[in-house]
Structures are given as structure tokens and as C-alpha cells.
Amino acid sequence: MTIDWFAFVQVFLAAITAAVLVVGFYALGLRLLVRAGRAPVVAPAEFTDAITVISEKEARRAEKAAAKAAKRSPLTDAQKRVALAAAYLCFAVCAAAVLGGLLLIVFNH
């Protein structure tokens, strides 16, 4: 039994590169989404066990703070539109990277 170490290194580098690409572009997309005044606010979920869940009051407070921060944004409307378009582009790059990886797995055997 022999191990092709060069192939192992290739797969390792591809996985690290893809992980950095997806996480980096997703983080950049979220940052641009917030700068565009569209902060994502997630409603609280009902969990059991030891997971802490925020209350409805805390969720409303978070929504109000996000709306207030969006109003205070120093960006003009045109800059907000550009930031929003760039955020969607970052999310599209993430989706393309994940889809490309899946296509490589399915069709590259």
C-alpha cells in the first residue's frame, strides 16, 4: 500500500483555500450588509436544555437598535446601494464556491 502524498497535500490546500474563501466572503458580505443598513436580526428560537434563548423583549430591543444604527449610517443612499450589491455579490461567491465543490465531488470520480 502506497500513499500519494502529493495528492494528499493538494486536497489539503484546496480544502483550506476553499474554507478561507467561503468564510472570508461570507463575513465580508455580512459586514457590507450591515453597512448598507440591512442588519440581519434573527428571531429567538425555542430550545431545550442549556442553551440560553433571548426573550421577545430583548429581540425587540435588538431590532430597535439595528434600526437606529441604520438611520445613523454616514453613507449616502448611493453608497448604501453599492454596499448592498457588493454584499449580495459576496454571498454569490460563497454559493458558487460551495456549488463548485459539490460539483467536483459528484462529477469528478
pLDDT at residue number 70 = 66
Per-residue pLDDT band at 91 (split at 50, 70, 90)? very high
The larger pLDDT score, comparing residue 72 to residue 27, is at 27
pLDDT at 28: 96
pLDDT at position 49, please?
A: 59
The model's pTM: 0.68
pLDDT in tens, 32-58: 998 888 877 666 566 555 566 677 788
Residues 6+ apart with CB under 8 A from 65: none
